[in-house]
Structure 1
Amino acid sequence: MSNALQAEDSAALLEQARQCGQESSRLDRLGCYDNLFLDEQRAPTDSVELPPLWHSVISQEEKRSADDFGLIVSAEGDQVLMTVPARGTTPPRPVLVLACEKLITRFQVHLPNALDTARVSLRVVADGRDVTQQWRVRDNGHVVSGGRGLPAIETLRQLLSASELVLSSDTAALDGLRFDVSGLRQQIQPLRSACRW
């Protein structure tokens, strides 16, 4: 690359950084800088094999407005997908996922940055209820699974009355994540019907 092209790229990058500085919200400003300067290898790429559910979650979350942190529910046939992004994080955000896929209930957290471990100890605090479990890390570290089938159902039943879920873990990427699940008991009905519980 010639010096002239490098100078042009540097000038364009500097101008984009100045535009980030104009964001009024600190969180939006940080997100803008992250999108501009973070190494793209940290987010999943096409070279990483991820399951169809991952891509469905991405597609659903792309339709979300920037200030919406509530549950989104979509249903197609007997497949139901519920997603909610972590509050207080910058894009791309971790996403709490509840799904009925092939008649199996799934309870997961999808992470934009992969974990390098097979299991994590996780405590889910929900309006005074406290559930501590070992969750499995799947799909090249991007999916943390709280169970599927009966284990997922048993956990979810304990959380139905919650308005917010807060995660506590020794794993920094999960510790302190907060999810607004207001109305979960009503909004989960299509999932319960599809997965027959």
Structure 2
Amino acid sequence: MKLKVFMAMIFFLPFINAPFTAAAEKTSPESSFTDEVKTALLACRQQSSPLPRLQCYDQAWHPEINVYQADRPDRYWLQIMEQEKQRQSGDPVMILKTFNTEGSAGIVMLTVPGNGNYPARAIFAISCIENITRMQIAFTAPQGKGDQMLEMHADGKVLTSRWFWRGSGYRLEASRGLQGIAEIQQLFGAKELVISSDQPALKDLRFRIDGLKQALEPLRQACHW
């Protein structure tokens, strides 16, 4: 009797197991992967360090988040816009503010609206953040990528230099370090800065910078130049 029961179980076992196998194959997450996701996941296996590997898997699983974040402006753009957002009607054209942030040595920033208007289509900014001096022009929409040649006209002086699009194209930034500081110093004594470029967003941008050297004194002390 036991032998008959055992033989019956062996006979029906493939039929009992088949639906579960089919269901497992049907619900396997890998079957729903696109070729791009599969390729990305395979590439992640080549990462030897745990943290980069986890980040790689996260980006592979959620590529739409990556695309969304890539189109967003960065924190430096947000700092410029936040300062101009707080501008009052009686404020001077050039605003310089000092404020602290978590985990940093503090920020000193000067902002000037383009063409003397607010809200402006572009904002000229010089900042000292983490002991690094930055000269930038921020826009309300992305305008370019890569590098950008432009001319700065400051009351007869013409300075040609290469700038760089940052923050998904929302922000144009000059060279940092000694070269960037030297370019800022070339603007001292001028009343107006005029930008000349073949880029439509930059053409004939004007910023009032009368008294720039004096206005930047706290920033220069903060960044030690």
Counterpart position of 2:76: 53
TM-score between the two structures when normalised by the length of structure 1: 0.71
Q: Distance in 2 between matches of 1:67 and 1:168?
A: 30
Residue in structure 2 matched with residue 184 of structure 1 by the alignment: 212
Note the C-alpha offset of 1:54: 1.6
Following TM superposition, where does structure 1 have runs of at least 4 consecutive aligned residues deviating by more than 6 angstroms? none
TM-score (norm 2): 0.62
Which of residues 124, 140, 144 in structure 1 aligns to 2:152?
Answer: 124
Distance 1:167 1:65 in 2: 26
Match of 1:140?
Answer: 168
Q: Deviations over 1:3-37 (max 9, x none)?
A: xxxxxxxxxxxxxxxxxxxxxxxxxxxxxxxxxxx
Q: What CA distance in whole angstroms lies between the structure 1 residues aligned with 2:144 and 2:75?
A: 22
Counterparts of 1:17-28 in structure 2, within 5 Å, are none
1:103 pairs, out of 131, 135, 152, with: 131
**Equivalent pair of 1:95/1:109 in contact (CA under 8 Å):** yes
- How far off its partner does 1:191 sit? 0.8
Partner letter of residue 75 of structure 2?
Answer: P
Distance in 2 separating the partners of 1:50 and 1:90:
20
Q: Is the 8 A contact 1:69 1:86 kept in 2?
A: no
Where is the strand percentage greater, Structure 1 or Structure 2?
Answer: 1
Taking the aligned partners of 1:177 and 1:69, their CA distance within structure 2 comes to 19
Q: How far apart in 2 are the matches of 1:88 and 1:184?
A: 15
**Is residue 173 of structure 1 aligned with residue 201 of structure 2?**
yes
- What does residue 5 of structure 2 align with? none
Change (3 A) 1:75 1:47: same
Aligned residues of 2:113 and 2:119 also touching (Cα < 8 A):
no
* Separation in structure 1 between the aligned mates of residue 170 and residue 79 of structure 2, nearest angstrom: 14
**Aligned AA (1:171):** Q
Q: Aligned letter for 1:188?
A: L
**1:193 alignment counterpart:** 221
* Structure of higher RCO (CA pairs closer than 8 Å, 6+ residues apart): 1
Question: What is the Cα-based RMSD across aligned positions, in Å?
Answer: 2.2
Aligned residues: 153
Q: Post-superposition shift, 1:89? A: 6.1
CA distance in 1, matches of 2:111, 2:152: 17
> Which of these residues, 159, 172, 178, is aligned with residue 187 of structure 2?
159
Q: Deviations over 1:78-131 (max 9, x none)?
A: 421000010166745200010000000000100112123312110000011110
- Which one of the candidate residues 84, 93, 107 is aligned to 1:79? 107
Identity %: 35
Going from structure 1 to structure 2, the CA distance change for 1:47 and 1:190 (only over 3 Å counts) comes to: same
Aligned residue for 2:78, secondary structure, equals helix
